[in-house]
Structure 1
Amino acid sequence: MKKMISLALALTLGLSLTACGSKNAENTESASDLAYVQDKGTLVVGITEFEPMDYQDADGNWVGFDADMASLFAESLGVEVQFQLIDWDSKVMELDGKTIDVVWNGMTLTEDVKEAMECSNPYFNNAQVVIVKADQAEKYQTTDSLKELNFSVENGSAGMEQADAYSLSYTPVLDQATALLEVSSGTADAAIIDYLMAVASTGEGTSYENLTYTVSLADEQYGVGFRKGSDLAAKLNEFFAEKYADGTMKQVADKYGIAEKLVEQ
């Protein structure tokens, strides 16, 4: 009899633990990323230095189209925004490890990105372009002319994908800002960066007056990335639609001279 009672108690306990485990798993699976961000009171935005999307002004504040819109989005959620520099090649690990909540940095919506993240609707048109010294530009106007060059590209970027696609020789670097510096200083012959950054960062009146852009290698679109399954993506799409309709997105884009590439929401 004692053995039967013990067995019954063990079975009851086992079923109870199983039910509890199932309930916990269900809670974990159904957890809201929006609620998580609002509970902790911060939206941590993963970025790299990327003018005109995310860069620091003279006072050390993060500004740019993406930085400004991220600040407004955080405000709409009732939380504080925090910007965190990341290694671009580790962006998915940063998201999944919850060291950041979102990747918002002129991110190209490649198939790999869309598979690894929950992405917003596209909000900017862009392209990957070749950067060379201005006095050498006439020599490099076709893809065939690029074969002899040594490139600098951001590790894990759409620019690196294009270098691979065209079988170009390259060295991966931390970010696109570094890639520009490499070309300007002569340690690389050329770079592949985003068109929007090329417009803001090269030519007369910019930080790199000795550089220009030539060949366009690929047309693409920007999106914002969250953890896979995150409900924040749908929330951001609603925010984008609202801010496009009331003119805020265009106003911010005009501020940085890139409104012609804004995608209707």
Structure 2
Amino acid sequence: MNKRAFWIAACAMAALVVTGCGKKDEPVAAAVEPVPVVAKAIVIGLDDNFPPMGFRDEKNELVGFDIDLAKEAGKRLGVEVTFKPIDWSAKESELNGNRIDVLWNGLTITEERKTNILFTKPYLENRQIVVVTDKSAITNKAQLAGAVVGVQDGSSAVDAVQKDEATAKSIKELKKFGDNVTALMDLSAGRLDAVVVDEVVGRYYTGKKPGEYRVLEENFGTEDYGVGVRKGDTELAAKLDKALDDMRADGAAATISTKWFGKDIIKP
């Protein structure tokens, strides 16, 4: 075979190979596995001694208002929800260290926290109330002068008291506790003169012990609760917002609220 015949035959074979591989204007793309925007499971960090938002019942099972809300939201997102008790004073480190995915446990939205946490829209309004024993002579914030006042470490109660400069300066000591329940127990034992606590927690706990505690008319301000995620998890925050909106619309949130508070206190 001369050179001309050889090259003609080679080109013909190459054309057959290319034709056999499919249409040249429809290249076959490599299969790419889609990456889910929201994981199939999310870990929620919480303080497990924060009734009625999240706490352990007599069977040592996690229950509470926020627990029920989070479970219902998880169903609507199609994800498995697990709960991880954390040191609440280190909540931002737990979140941004990827040891949890969500903070959902009576988390107050503050400008300071917004620098490290991405919040959903508020779902509940709360106040920082002052609880004293029923026999206490204290009837207003001015009478906290010289008092030992208990708060939960890392909670918004700390900020609320400190923002009220006149009261904060007059207090003898702002004593910090790992949880509100322990602080209220110390109040009953006479080791504290008052406790500043989230209203949802204070009302729930004091309501179980009628005649033992009294809530002052004055408080340390109103605040909103939101669900917190990492700053970059915008898609997860949006999906949680939609789930909460749907729960408001179809009455699921109101049902959960009534179960724990006796009425619908969900923020519209």
Between the aligned partners of 2:195 and 2:181, the Cα distance in structure 1 is 10
Q: Please say if 1:163 is aligned against 2:165.
A: no
Q: Please say if 1:108 is aligned against 2:128.
A: no
Residues 175-214 of structure 1: per-residue CA shift (max 9 Å, x gap)? 22222122122222211100111111104xx157512221
Residue 23 of structure 1 corresponds to none
Between the aligned partners of 2:126 and 2:106, the Cα distance in structure 1 is 9
Contact 2:254 2:264 in 1 (8 A): no
* Higher Cα radius of gyration: 2
Q: Please say if 1:154 is aligned against 2:152.
A: yes
Structure 1: runs of 5 or more not aligned: 1-30
Residues 40-73 of structure 1: per-residue CA shift (max 9 Å, x gap)? xx32111112111111222222111100011112
Q: Percent identity?
A: 32
Residue 53 of structure 2 corresponds to 53
Between the aligned partners of 2:262 and 2:117, the Cα distance in structure 1 is 26
Q: How many residue pairs get matched? A: 225
- Deviation of 1:258 after TM superposition, in Å, equals 5.5
Alignment TM-score, normalising by the size of structure 2:
0.79
Q: Is the alpha carbon distance of 1:259 and 1:123 closer, same or farther for their aligned partners in structure 2, counting shifts above 3 Å? A: farther
Residue 206 of structure 2 corresponds to 202
Residues 206-260 of structure 1: per-residue CA shift (max 9 Å, x gap)? 1575122213111111111001121211111100110100000000000011535
The root-mean-square deviation of aligned C-alpha atoms, in Å, is: 1.8
Structure 2: runs of 5 or more not aligned: 1-34
| Structure that is richer in helix per residue | 1
Between the aligned partners of 1:210 and 1:127, the Cα distance in structure 2 is 21
Paired residue secondary structure (1:132) = strand
- Deviation of 1:149 after TM superposition, in Å, equals 1.1
Between the aligned partners of 2:140 and 2:211, the Cα distance in structure 1 is 22
4+ residue stretches of structure 1 with deviation over 6 A? none
Residue 42 of structure 2 corresponds to 43
Between the aligned partners of 1:200 and 1:185, the Cα distance in structure 2 is 19
Contact 2:161 2:220 in 1 (8 A): no
Between the aligned partners of 1:260 and 1:140, the Cα distance in structure 2 is 31
Contact 1:51 1:200 in 2 (8 A): yes
